[in-house]
């Protein structure tokens, strides 16, 4: 990946993130500057498996999955850096998390993340999610990047 890319397709996302269905929650990356900023989208379909139980008759995307989608977009930005390419991203902390409006079937989440700081393999991003230009959620997320071989059973 170059220093500034216009985006990533769904196939390219699969090559970068270790997540798979039903936990892959990014459909496209619109803009990416590795280690600086990223813009991604999640198309929210009525066919999402979580809608059958959250909530019957009133489908709402769970807040934890909105955060997970945000974290995955941020992880794509970090994994695009050469020194982190074969790492596993772990969500290590959340601060200043706020949900403004519910996300429902038919919505397209536009997720925008900016790197605040990275030290060794621990980083912090500010991140927002919008639907049709309206702020839906915001957070500061902390993540840890670990080698794939050493990523089981270790403390973050």
Enumerate the active-site residues: 54
Residue 35 to residue 86: CA distance in whole angstroms: 15
Q: DSSP 3-state assignment of 136?
A: strand
- Using CA atoms, how far apart are residues 21 and 36, in angstroms rounded to an integer? 27
DSSP 99: E
Q: Which of 33, 35, 36, 12 lies closest to 24, judged by CA? A: 12
How far is Cα 73 from Cα 17, in angstroms, rounded to an integer? 9
Taking CA atoms, 78 is separated from 13, 84, 101, 144, in Å, by: 13, 7, 28, 10
């Amino acid at each position: 990946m170059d220093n500034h890319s216009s985006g990533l397709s769904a196939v390219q996302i699969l090559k970068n993130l270790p997540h798979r269905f039903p936990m892959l929650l990014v459909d496209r990356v619109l803009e990416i500057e590795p280690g600086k900023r990223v813009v991604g989208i999640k198309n929210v379909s009525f066919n999402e498996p979580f809608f059958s139980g959250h909530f019957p008759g009133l489908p709402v995307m769970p807040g934890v999955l909105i955060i997970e989608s945000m974290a995955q977009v941020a992880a794509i930005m970090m994994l695009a850096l050469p020194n982190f390419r074969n790492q596993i991203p772990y969500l290590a902390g959340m601060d200043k998390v706020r949900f403004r409006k519910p996300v429902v079937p038919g919505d397209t989440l536009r997720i925008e993340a900016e790197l605040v700081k990275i030290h060794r393999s621990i980083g912090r991003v500010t991140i927002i999610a919008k639907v049709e230009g309206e702020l839906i959620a915001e957070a500061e997320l902390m993540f840890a990047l670990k080698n794939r071989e050493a990523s089981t059973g270790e403390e973050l």
